[in-house]
Structure 1
Amino acid sequence: METNLIELIEKDITLTDGTRNLTVKGETKNHKVYKIPLEYLFYNNQNGRITTWISKYNSENNLLNLDDMEYYNSVLHGFIKQANENAFDKTKINIKMFGQKVAGVVLKNGRIIDGNRRFTCLREIAAEGEDCYFNAVILDTDEGISDKDIKRLELNLQHAEERPVDYDPIDNLVDIYRDLEQNKTFTISEYVRNVNKKKTEVEKTLKKAILMVEFLEFINADGKYYIARELNLDGPLQEMVGILNKVEEGKEEDVKSALFTALLTSQTGDLTRRIREIGNEIIKTKNADKFIEEYEEIVEEVFEDLQGEEEVDLSTVNEKVSKNTSLKEKGNTIITKKIDQNRHEAVRNKPIVLLNNALDALNAIDETVVSRMNEENKEEFEEVLKKIYETLNAYSEEINV
């Protein structure tokens, strides 16, 4: 039977003299804060801070559910703590010294909307022998509060109070992907209003989130977001978005697959730098098509090896790709060779590039302005012009040697 916290008010749950200002369904007001026994509450499994941890658990075990609430809470307790142990320890010390200063927010069924870390700290303090309660606003979902209203409140609270360091970037990508792409809870304009960010910033983050999902599909690990977190893909994905934005239409998928493969087979530790290097030194050059053609065999081998597996996790990636020394060497040889070729070509072409730049600068000179120069300026102009002729003649002599 589902708990109803509203019915427990003035019984096990008592009113405090505190309030918390919240905006719910567009109305901002002070809400009453109640003192709630910990055993009536459970974690929010949609909490963005632990999304990737839950995805890892679900991929390795049976799906988490509330049939055994104590077990469910103990598992998510561990995730909350692991997600940011430094922040957790500081919050716990603060609560032990001064008590819970900021009230949480819960639904009437006991689901925690805001205050998961504070709740976790209180659970640990209670386990150490102290008498603990969770102070929180109780939202009555029977009063027309929809799932979208709840999510909007979560976003408001998260972006108003959380510091960026508290939120793993991959967990943030999963959150924005679910809200804007998978569940379409919000339009981009609605999301922008709720998180106080620029539209261009949200659009760029969404592109990165979609790219992360596509990477997981490429390696046959759909929904296993923890892989992206454990591979530290935020930086590389950021670089890929910039690269793909400048790729010619119709070639995005080939470039994307090549970048995913290069990411998996890289022999360098700094993946962000490697992807940036491939983008600048290969993909953005006129030799990009030739590289894609030469690299296709590596892409196909990686893709087919992983797609052929029934289940893919990090150990599968390590076994099929990371430990495949010959495949990695072959792939990295192609990349390194192409980068070196393009760099040498760039050096050879540098004089032509500079000469074209000089020509553009000369063409930008307004002849009318030249004709109206005073005598002093004309003399200086002719002097510079003479030096240009002399320089060009010197280059001509070098070419004709």
Structure 2
Amino acid sequence: MIECWRWYGEFDSISLGEVAQTGARGIVTALHDIPYGEVWPREAIARRKGLLAAAGFDWAMVESLPVHERIKRGDGDLGPLFANYRQSLANLAAEGVMSVCYNFMPLLDWTRTDLAAPVASGATCLRFEAVRMAAFEVHMLGRREAEADYPAEVLTRAAAWFQAATEADRDGLLGAIMAGMPGAFDRYDVAGLRTALAGYDGIGREGLRANFKRFLDEVVPTAEELGMRLCVHPDDPPRDILGLPRIVSDSHDLAWVLAAHESPANGITFCSGSLGANPANDVPALAAQVADRIHFAHLRNVRKDPDGSFEEDAHLDGDTDMVALIRVLLDEEARRRAAGRADHAIPFRPDHGHHMLSDLTREMIPGYPLIGRLRGLAELRGVIRALSHG
């Protein structure tokens, strides 16, 4: 497996020199300064690749080449947006960057209610708290239909939290939910979020699936011609929120995605944390189901609570049997190697991590600390090395 590290370029306080000390040699990055829907110029791609090469790294994976919201909504004349996406793929391929991770989550990317929830060790982690999410949806957004999405006990506690919350508490919750990804250009206040959500009125699960299928129809043939690999990231969290449908959350969803185009160019970013937050998912079994189309792996672990909350756990702890999952990935690599595939190795990165030690006093992107991810990479490296020895 290829050890990789996510790096946010000019948005990242972690230097490439520091990344080199982790032992990772592949970089996962994107041109975060380019607005969604615009073409990634070949010259900008070449500069980024050259910067990485000068520091001793390969640009192993693009994460992400964003899909514009209008494509997700199926809104208006989408021809220019599809053309721009295809041109960006062509420009990446021309510079030898051949793998692209993306997602089809409507409006928001990963969503958490707490960016620095305390853990027993004294570190902090990302957390999705069902009570606070319900308080946000029902009481701050005023989306009363959200009451059907939460158990009665959660709604009772959500109302109590909202009544006791200060303005700073509510602003902090909004900020956590809006944290999204560095380089994303849309940040909303409550009124702005209501307006943005209205753009998805009437679309629903089947409508979003139809728009996703159209996107795949427009870009997968180009990726095939270029010899590229596209891999969709699962929903995070893997449940409907804010009235928005999520369509890449379980085994049925992944099967639908892969059946939409039976092509190596149409694959999966297997995120054990996103899929692991769904109580219905057996993560190692799910990896085995889609193994031949896993082009990239995010390895992290979560601990779930009965009320639908979950938080990031240490990489070898949590609810997912990480050793069993890595065994599936190594078996798939062996199958590819036996079939003569030159690209048999699966790139992976230690996803998220606890903020700990000196990271607690350093400004870092939420969920992407230096030491917490270094710990995760070291633990995962040990598992991979041990299993590789049989």
Aligning the two structures, in what range does the TM-score lie when normalised by the shorter sequence?
under 0.3
What's the TM-score, normalizing by structure 2?
0.26
Larger Rg: 1
More helix as a share of residues: 1
What's the TM-score, normalizing by structure 1?
0.25
Q: Which has the higher contact order (CA 8 A, sep 6+)?
A: 2
